[in-house]
């Protein structure tokens, strides 16, 4: 079973306290958490050790490996903390300077390819993710990947002088809610979803 160690950790936690920390819901008699990932509802079923997304009442989809990692790690680690509203790069998070390099680099190139010529396309798809527009760069949004983990995505347009640039910024609290490997997984899921939505809208 994937993530067996994480399931074991989650099982030992008090359901209601965990739900309060993670800003989600716990259904005691069903032993399940109800939360969101990228503006989509998910059910984390402790009894059967299953996670599935619920797009509507009729459609259930088993969560994929990275989705499971994000949700389990978040439920285990989330803290009942207010946002600082201070945006930092991944490298400025505790341990981030050493973790986010090489194969663990933040995948901004994919955003540059998808939105560099038309940054406004980012705003056009923002609504799908419940994101709000920001005032950075040529286009930017704040998007909650998990209930306590917002990401700020910034795009600078490609022009004759400069290549396109993209940044992903975090609230200073991000590292308190997710270990860095799960935070990177959340970023990868977000980038993948944004690029996919952009391609679908073209």
Judge whether 185 lies within some domain.
Answer: yes
Q: Is residue 22 part of a domain?
A: yes
Distances 148 to 101, 145, 174 between C-alpha atoms, Å: 25, 8, 8
Q: Is residue 38 part of a domain?
A: yes
Residue 142 belongs to a domain: yes
Based on the fold, state whether residues 12 and 72 are members of the same structural domain: yes
Mean pLDDT of the residues in the chain: 95
pLDDT tens-digit map of 146-195 = 999 999 999 999 888 889 999 999 999 999 999 999 999 999 999 999 99
**Domain encompassing residue 53:** 4-77
Contacts of 162 (CB under 8 A, 6+ apart): 156
Same domain assignment for residues 103 and 194: yes
Last residue of a domain, one of 19, 42, 77: 77
**pLDDT the model gives residue 58:** 64
**Which residue, 19, 48, 77, sits at the end of a domain?**
77
Q: Could you tell me if 29 and 86 are in contact, meaning their C-beta atoms sit under 8 angstroms apart? A: no
Which of 23, 54, 77 finishes a domain? 77
* Tally of structural domains, the chain: 2
In a domain, residue 82? The reply is: no
Are residues 69 and 104 located together in one domain of the fold? no
CA–CA separation, 1 vs 176, rounded Å? 26
pTM: 0.95
Q: What is the pLDDT of residues 30-68, one digit of tens each?
A: 999 999 999 999 999 999 999 999 876 667 899 999 999
pLDDT digit string (tens) for 151-161?
999 999 988 88
Are 61 and 91 members of one domain? no
């Amino acid at each position: 079973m994937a993530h067996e160690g994480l399931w074991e950790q989650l099982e030992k936690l008090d359901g209601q306290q965990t739900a309060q920390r993670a800003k989600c819901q716990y259904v005691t008699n069903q032993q399940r958490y109800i939360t969101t990932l990228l503006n989509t509802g998910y059910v984390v079923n402790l009894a059967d050790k299953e996670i599935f997304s619920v797009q509507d009442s009729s459609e259930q989809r088993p969560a994929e490996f990275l989705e499971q990692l994000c949700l389990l790690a978040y439920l285990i680690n989330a803290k009942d903390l207010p946002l600082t509203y201070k945006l930092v790069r991944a490298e400025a998070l505790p341990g981030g300077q050493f973790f986010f390099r090489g194969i663990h680099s933040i995948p901004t190139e994919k955003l540059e390819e998808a939105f560099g010529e038309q940054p406004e396309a980012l705003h056009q798809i923002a609504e799908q993710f419940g994101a709000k527009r920001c005032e950075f760069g040529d286009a930017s949004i704040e998007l909650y990947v998990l209930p306590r983990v917002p990401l700020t995505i910034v795009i600078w347009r490609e022009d004759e002088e400069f290549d396109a640039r993209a940044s992903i910024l975090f609230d200073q609290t991000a590292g308190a809610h997710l270990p860095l490997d799960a935070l990177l997984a959340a970023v990868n899921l977000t980038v993948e979803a944004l690029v996919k939505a952009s391609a679908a809208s073209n």
